[in-house]
Amino acid sequence: MEPVPKELEGIELFQRYLTTFELIKTALTSFETVEDLMSAAPEILKTLPEYGVKVFQSLRPDLVVAAFHPKNRGAVLKCAEAQIPFWQGIIDDIKADKPQLEFWFAQGPELFRALGFSPLCSEVTMVASAMYKEGCEDAIDKFRMKGFADHLCTANVAYPGYVMNGNWKPPHVMVKPGTPCPSSNLAYQAIQKWYGNEYVMYDSTYYLDKDGLMHQSDAIKRAIPKLEKISGQKLDEDLFRQQMEESNKTYALCGELLELRKNKPNPDPGMHRLLDLLMMVTLLGKPSCTEYFQFIVDEAKERLSNGGTPVIPEGKKEIRALHTWAMNAYTPELYHWLEETYGMTYITCGLSYFIDHQVDTSSVDSMIEGWAQRIMNFAMERQSMSFGDVWLDDMIYLAKDWDADCGIFGGNLSCKQGWAISKLLADRLEDELNIPSTRFEIELSDKRTCPPDEFKHRIGSFVETILID
């Protein structure tokens, strides 16, 4: 990996994200088309500092083209506008030595903010690295070079790679439930061993019922005093309530958005799903997150009233795809390509299936329970529940009520949870709903497992089987 300049030691990755979102905002507010942007690029480059030029040149052209498409650009801009202050805040907090907490992605950041931390999702690289030609493969390899197996999930192991290289300052504490995710468990343990920071792991539950919820929320309650000791601050009930009330609004909009996707054609572009995930893991509990989802809900409604750019080209027959596990997080513009090429729209996927659970904010206990319930509802956690039947039932429900034409299982190669149910899921889709499905191996953040062209080829082959009558 490239050495980190001294002035960016510990914050380089966050500075890169900040610079990128600033560039995206400037590009989308200054130019109508990507052609305009490219013709102005030589002049723009002259005005940028050396670091900005480097970031500009590392952006993936296909993603930029997709971001400029009228159906995508509004959401991309809204997301960029929200991300700029977020990353600036992370950099400022690190410089001010505010207690830094890194959390596994199924948890929301609200509780951690109320405990006085500057929280950051460790798997944020999974979504943010999609913006760059180089992705995060160098960071993944950096971690592997320490002797770790190459079948560990790339959504988790880029994080320690960046820490090792100095792009990311080790946090004061890392927090995760004990979910059966060996990759994150190993990565976090390694960081703790190498850098001596705290690691708080609390127990997970395997049953999605009242007892399971009590078990989960009790485990969280037992972890809170440890976190208070690390941050030196008691849980701020008012701040927690404020955050949870805000995230209630966000989740309500997620629910509304999912309902809107029942319409035909689906009025919500597939490329938004990666933006949704980025917004949830960085800004949930903040008004800017709610505003982003409000924007895309409004945009989808506008499309339904024939007022906006259609998601699939006029005259193309819609194919409604349910992505039954993960998205491909390294080239999200491929979902734009599927819409344009085949008229294939994106109902949802495991990583963008945000179940609207409204949290009772009347007391700290009720808020912790609600926060726990959302963890149990999130990807990875929900798949681990019971014997897999919870997730299978979810997917059948989504396929049926959203009238899916097909299921696509882009299985993260390293994810045991996902692969364990892939055939059960395919069988149920076929037996109960007569819906065809396919499956193939990807890695969430490593394009070397299934390069973009191979991805296109595999999904394209499958889509053609659906198109033949």
Partner 1 sequence: MPFVIGMDVGLVAIKGVILEDNHNIAQVIKETGVKPALAAKACYDELLTKANLSHGEIKGFGVTGWGAKRVSLGPDLSGPDLKIKSEVVCLAKGAIWALPTSRTVVDIGAQIVKVARFSENAKVKRFDQSDKCAAGAGRFLDIMSTALELDVARLGKIGASASKMVEISSQCSVFGESEIVSYLNTGEKIEDIANGINYSIAKRVSTIVMRLGLEEDIIVTGGVAQNPEVIRYLENMLGTEFKRYNANPQVIGAIGAALFAQEIL
Chain residues binding partner 1 by CB under 8 A are: 423, 426-427, 430, 436-441, 449-450, 457-458, 460-462, 464-465, 468-469
Alpha-carbon dihedral sign for residues 34, 38, 44, 48: positive
Strands 100-103 vs 173-177: parallel, antiparallel or unpaired: parallel
Which residue, 242 or 438, is less far from partner 1 as judged by CB? 438
Question: What are the DSSP calls for 214-243, one per residue?
Answer: HHHHHHHHHHHHHHHHHHT----HHHHHHH
Select from 373, 332, 349 the least CA-distant residue to 247: 373
Closest approach of Cβ 102 to partner 1, in Å? Answer: 32
Closest by CA position to 272, among listed 379, 342, 346, 344 = 346
Q: Are the C-beta atoms of 311 and 345 separated by less than 8 Å?
A: yes
Whichever of 169 and 458 has its CB closer to partner 1, that residue is 458
Which amino acid, 153?
A: C
Q: In which element (H, E) is residue 85 found?
A: helix 70-95
Tokens of 450: 């299934």
**Strands of 344-346's sheet, edge to edge?**
344-346, 319-323, 406-412, 437-442
CB of 469: closest distance to partner 1 in angstroms? 7
- The residues, ordered by sequence, that sit 6+ positions from 184 with a Cβ below 8 Å of its Cβ are 104, 122, 123, 153, 156, 176
Distance CA 446, CA 410 (A): 13
Radius of gyration of the chain (CA): 21
Q: Where are the beta strands (DSSP E) in 403-442?
A: 406-412, 437-442
Contacts of 287 (CB under 8 A, 6+ apart): 246
Phi and psi, residue 71, nearest 5°: -75, -20
Angle between helices 70-95 and 61-68 (to 10 degrees): 120
d(CA 374, CA 162): 29
Nearer to partner 1, 70 or 451 (CB): 451
Cβ-Cβ contacts under 8 Å for 297 (sequence gap 6 or more):
253, 256, 257, 260
In the complex, the smallest distance separating the C-beta of residue 439 from partner 1, rounded to whole angstroms, is: 7
Give the integer Cα–Cα distance in Å for 198 and 183.
18
Nearer Cβ to partner 1, position 30 or 461?
Answer: 461
In the sheet with 173-177, reading across from the earlier edge strand, the strands are: 118-121, 100-103, 173-177, 198-202
HSE-CB for 174 with a 13 A CA cutoff: 28
